[in-house]
Amino acid sequence: MLDKRKFYINGAWVEPVEAHDLKVIDPSTEEACAVISNGTSKDVDRAVAAAKAAFEGWKHTDPQKRLTFVEKILSIYNRRRGEMAKAISTEMGAPIDMALEQQVGGGAFFIEGFIDSFKHFSFKTDLVKGHKDSALQYEPVGVVGLITPWNWPMNLINLKVIPALLAGCTMVLKPSEIAPLSGLLYADIIDEAGLPKGVFNLVNGDGAGVGTCLSGHPDIAMISFTGSTRVGKAISKNASDTLKHVDLELGGKGANLVFADAREDAIKWSVLACFNNSGQSCNAPTRMFVERSIYEKAKKIAKEVANNVKLAVASERGDHLGPVVSKAQFDKIQGLIQSGIDEGATLIAGGTGLANGFKRGYFVRPTVFADVKPDMKIFREEIFGPVLSMIPFDSEEEAIAMANDTDYGLTNYVQSGDKEKCHRVATALRSGMVEVNGKSLPKESFFGGVKYSGHAREGSIWGIKQFLDTKAISEW
């Protein structure tokens, strides 16, 4: 079992102030694979003090030098991709090939996007375009607290650490205590890159402890959090007394509108997109609205696809689903699947219980419900597992109305061969992002939503600006 009890503070690996051991469980085996320390307020104070002391020096570092550091981080990150994939696969159950290609690869994708954007960014520009008598100056917000989840650890750490570094902020990172190994390896990459002491700090711990200390700390100017809407609300309340900026990227309940003129593989693509990462993605297309003329056919395809999905332990090579991250997550998913059955949805694939062929590990059966109604829990609540809800619709207007009938608004999807219809529907959907016909958004885009999905705009130039304050200056 790996011993990972130390924190990274002020450019060094240090022992916690008080020992509070916490085991990291491998979701494929249900066995402990590592032990970390559960930090306390004393550890947070030490890390924040280091970041505060380093802020002025980092703030005034030439932006080109900060960019050079980030480029070095990317180079080391790419060299250590294999180590990172193994850490992610072990801690949260992503199949090893998927961990390398999507999990680690996604992190590199975002770093590259920030680098490209920063090369064209100026910290001082005209306040009003064409008027040279005033200026707009961008300045780093200060010391920032970064709280990241377990489902896409490198995507989400890179979406916060890299823009904060480029903006000139110093920081304290709290990775998920459920999947902390990748974050610790990331700190080692930062250390190898040679950043000045105190610019980047890492303290492990749970949300109630370290997370609460960070969000209420008077010396932290901003909290950037990715996770559940419930926790996002709690962070906002705790941060209010210090009037810090709070940046939230929260849950989702993605609507996927499949019209009769969609491409031939639209249903298969939709099912697999929902199940990717074992359904543990806030932007997963979990509600599939299907035009009634192809609904029966779509159900047959969805059933076949779900029944043919392979599950295997995370260390096995190849294309398959791994376990969900923890027993708590497994139990939550089981309860929501049972609610779908109890409330009258038609179960056409999967169901409750451990997936066939497994005696241990948190393996959820890939599940598809048809004839789901808007008042059902599986329609309204974020499940965060491989569970798809299918709903028929008769008109474009009906589909849009049902899609928007949710507290969430992260990513929605449109599938149609009619470009004008796609544009019309995408415009009407209430969400931060819309993907059309399986086309991903470019690296220059942002990631973020509206309503209970938060209002973050992470990635590219949008993400860098989140860590900057603006100053208007006259007589420039």
Q: Give the pLDDT confidence of 403-423 residue by residue, as tens digits.
A: 999 999 999 999 999 999 999
468-474, strands of its sheet edge to edge: 124-126, 134-140, 468-474
pLDDT band at 296 (very low <50, low <70, confident <90, very high): very high
**C-alpha span between 312 and 284 (Å, rounded):** 21
Q: Can you tell me the mean pLDDT for 439-451?
A: 95
Residue 335, amino acid:
G
Beta bridge partners of 128: none
Length reported for the chain: 476
Contact partners, residue 354, CB within 8 Å, separation at least 6: 361, 363, 365
| CB-count exposure of residue 21 (10 Å: 0-12, 13-18, 19+) | exposed
User: Mean pLDDT for the chain?
Assistant: 97
Token digits of residue 459: 């990635």
User: Reduced to 3 states, what is the DSSP secondary structure of residue 469?
Assistant: strand
**C-alpha span between 196 and 216 (Å, rounded):** 26
Q: What is the pLDDT of residue 129?
A: 86
Single out the residue of 154, 163, 388 nearest to residue 269, CA to CA: 388
Residues with a known catalytic role: 249, 282
Q: Judge contact between 183 and 132, C-beta under 8 A.
A: no
**C-alpha span between 74 and 102 (Å, rounded):** 16
Q: Judge contact between 402 and 289, C-beta under 8 A.
A: yes
Q: Is the pLDDT of residue 355 over 90?
A: yes
Single out the residue of 221, 226, 243, 146 nearest to residue 454, CA to CA: 226
Single out the residue of 318, 426, 333 nearest to residue 381, CA to CA: 333
Token digits of residue 14: 């240090």
Beta bridge partners of 471: 137
Q: What is the pLDDT of residue 467?
A: 98
Q: Can you tell me the mean pLDDT for 203-212?
A: 97
Q: Judge contact between 384 and 329, C-beta under 8 A.
A: yes
Token digits of residue 108: 């590199």
Q: Structural domain boundaries of the chain?
A: 2-250+454-474, 255-442
Q: Can you tell me the mean pLDDT for 327-350?
A: 98
Q: How do residues 168-180 score in pLDDT, each as one tens digit?
A: 999 999 999 999 9
Q: What is the dihedral of CA 410, 172, 21, 17, to 10 degrees?
A: -160
Under CATH, domain 2-250+454-474 is a member of which superfamily?
Aldehyde Dehydrogenase; Chain A, domain 1 (3.40.605.10)
User: Reduced to 3 states, what is the DSSP secondary structure of residue 123?
Assistant: coil
**C-alpha span between 149 and 227 (Å, rounded):** 6
Q: Judge contact between 244 and 224, C-beta under 8 A.
A: no
User: Reduced to 3 states, what is the DSSP secondary structure of residue 421?
Assistant: helix
**C-alpha span between 192 and 461 (Å, rounded):** 26
Token digits of residue 470: 């603006």
- The helix-helix angle for 63-79 and 81-92 (nearest 10°) equals 70
Beta bridge partners of 279: none
pTM of the model: 0.97
Q: Judge contact between 343 and 335, C-beta under 8 A.
A: no
Q: What is the pLDDT of residue 53?
A: 98
Of residues 132 and 322, the one with the higher pLDDT is: 322
Strands (DSSP E) contained in 298-402 are 346-349, 367-370, 387-393
Under CATH, domain 255-442 is a member of which superfamily?
Aldehyde Dehydrogenase; Chain A, domain 2 (3.40.309.10)
**C-alpha span between 177 and 146 (Å, rounded):** 13
Other Cβ atoms within 10 Å of 130 Cβ, number: 5
Single out the residue of 139, 155, 124, 356 nearest to residue 249, CA to CA: 155
Q: Can you tell me the mean pLDDT for 89-111?
A: 98
What would the DSSP string read from start to end of 68-115?
HHHHHHHHHHHHTHHHHHHHHHHHH---HHHIIIIIIHHHHHHHHHHH
Residue 4, amino acid:
K
pLDDT band at 131 (very low <50, low <70, confident <90, very high): confident
